[in-house]
């Protein structure tokens, strides 16, 4: 099973921490807050976070670690309860082999690592959920998520296989059901080659009925988080190696780009307030982490919160705004956190 190795974090001067205990079957949020931040505990390696419409629910990924399989958690922010959608009794599989003819077979719930997430609302309380998954196979796994009747139900329906030699990181959904995903690193060479630019990854584009292909001109050092604008014109990508947020204009050929440098090792990207992007990651100086808001038009960046190295939650990888709160996840830890934005 593939998972982050310790040399990935050694490249940034920090150590790897992955708890070996398994997640409890029932929600557990009994953990003490730090000054300025509260926690919901028991969620392992919740690397990416997404709001499920305006339901007040958050879906998180769950990456593998030593003794920990993948998860897809659903948090109810009204009472901080949570459960794992992939191991829920109502989880099901309904393979659409016509739409996803290259998918080799059913989703293996015992051997996957949920990394990046993307949601698209397709009807009342119904969503497409795409995840970047490692483990049994390297693929974008595609699900239906239904909240009908107040009972969340996840149904797997297909996959798009990706290059097995590469760890793909985040994913964004286009209006036609296609996606863009980032080639973060080569498994064999590891993180150091990517963040130094020795090996560059690109943005992979897939459209229904086609094969995945790398977008020409999209090569970056450690491409990580990715989101798409509502009009599908722009892709915003976190270049972890160069600590830049890069904007690609898909309306131009060859693709045009511009960028802004940040003082964090930025990871995932999420839409926040109107016209704003949120990203998060470890501080460039090595002490603690920050959440940064970036204007999608001007690329002007502002720090809106964060914690120092003494906080219980570290290795922050994602920031999500829910009301006046900012929720944060981690690629290596046993909790998510939330705080009121500055």
User: Residue 5's pLDDT is what?
Assistant: 36
Predicted confidence (pLDDT) at residue 2 exceeds the cutoff of 90: no
Predicted confidence (pLDDT) at residue 192 exceeds the cutoff of 70: yes
What is the per-residue pLDDT across 17-42, written as a single tens digit (0 to 9) for each? Answer: 232 222 333 345 668 999 999 999 99
d(CA 57, CA 159): 25
| Across 8-17, 183-192, 230-239, 315-324, least confident range | 8-17
Distances (CA, A) of 105 to 22, 29, 102, 137, 222: 27, 36, 9, 10, 30
What is the per-residue pLDDT across 245-281, written as a single tens digit (0 to 9) for each? Answer: 999 999 999 999 999 999 999 999 999 999 999 999 9
What is the per-residue pLDDT across 102-117, written as a single tens digit (0 to 9) for each? Answer: 999 999 999 999 999 9
| Across 14-28, 183-197, 200-214, least confident range | 14-28
Q: For the chain, what percent of residues have pLDDT higher than 70? A: 91
User: Residue 15's pLDDT is what?
Assistant: 30
Phi, psi of 211 (to 5 degrees): -110, 150
User: Residue 29's pLDDT is what?
Assistant: 63
Higher-confidence residue: 14 or 57?
Answer: 57
- As a whole number, mean pLDDT of residues 172-195 equals 97
Mean residue pLDDT of the chain comes to: 91
Higher-confidence residue: 8 or 156?
Answer: 156
Round to the nearest angstrom and report the end-to-end CA distance of the chain: 40
DSSP state of 148: G
322, 337 contact by CB (below 8 A)? no
Predicted confidence (pLDDT) at residue 11 exceeds the cutoff of 90: no
d(CA 139, CA 159): 6
User: Residue 207's pLDDT is what?
Assistant: 98
- Domains in the chain (CATH in brackets) are 6-340 (2.120.10.30)
């Amino acid at each position: 099973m593939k998972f982050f190795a310790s040399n990935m974090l050694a490249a940034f001067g920090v150590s790897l921490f992955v708890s070996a205990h398994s997640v409890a079957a029932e929600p557990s949020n009994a953990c003490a807050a730090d000054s300025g931040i509260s926690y919901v505990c028991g969620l392992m390696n919740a690397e990416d976070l997404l709001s499920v419409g305006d339901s007040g629910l958050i879906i998180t990924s769950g990456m593998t670690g030593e003794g920990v399989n993948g998860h897809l958690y659903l948090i109810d922010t009204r009472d901080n309860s949570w459960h794992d959608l992939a191991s829920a009794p109502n989880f099901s599989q309904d393979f659409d082999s016509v739409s996803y003819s290259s998918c080799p077979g059913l989703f293996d719930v015992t051997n996957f690592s949920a990394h990046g997430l993307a949601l698209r609302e397709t009807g009342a309380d119904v969503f497409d959920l795409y995840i970047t998954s490692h483990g049994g196979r390297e693929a974008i796994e595609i699900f239906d998520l239904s909240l009908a009747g107040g009972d969340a139900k996840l149904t797997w329906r297909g996959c798009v296989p990706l290059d097995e030699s590469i760890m793909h990181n985040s994913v964004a959904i286009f209006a036609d059901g296609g996606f863009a995903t980032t080639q973060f690193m080569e498994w064999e060479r590891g993180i150091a080659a990517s963040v130094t630019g020795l090996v560059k990854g690109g943005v992979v584009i897939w459209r229904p009925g086609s094969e995945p292909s790398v977008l020409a001109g999209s090569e970056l050092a450690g491409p990580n988080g990715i989101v798409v604008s509502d009009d599908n014109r722009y892709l915003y990508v976190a270049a972890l190696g160069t600590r830049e947020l890069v904007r690609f204009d898909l309306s131009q050929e060859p693709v045009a780009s511009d960028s802004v440098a940040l003082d964090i090792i930025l990871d995932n990207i999420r839409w926040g307030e109107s016209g704003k992007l949120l990203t998060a990651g470890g501080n460039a100086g090595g002490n603690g982490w920050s959440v940064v808001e970036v204007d999608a038009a001007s690329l002007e960046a502002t720090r809106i919160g964060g914690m120092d190295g003494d906080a219980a939650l570290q290795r922050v990888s994602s920031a999500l705004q829910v009301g006046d709160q900012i929720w944060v996840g981690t690629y290596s830890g046993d909790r998510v956190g939330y705080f009121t934005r500055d």
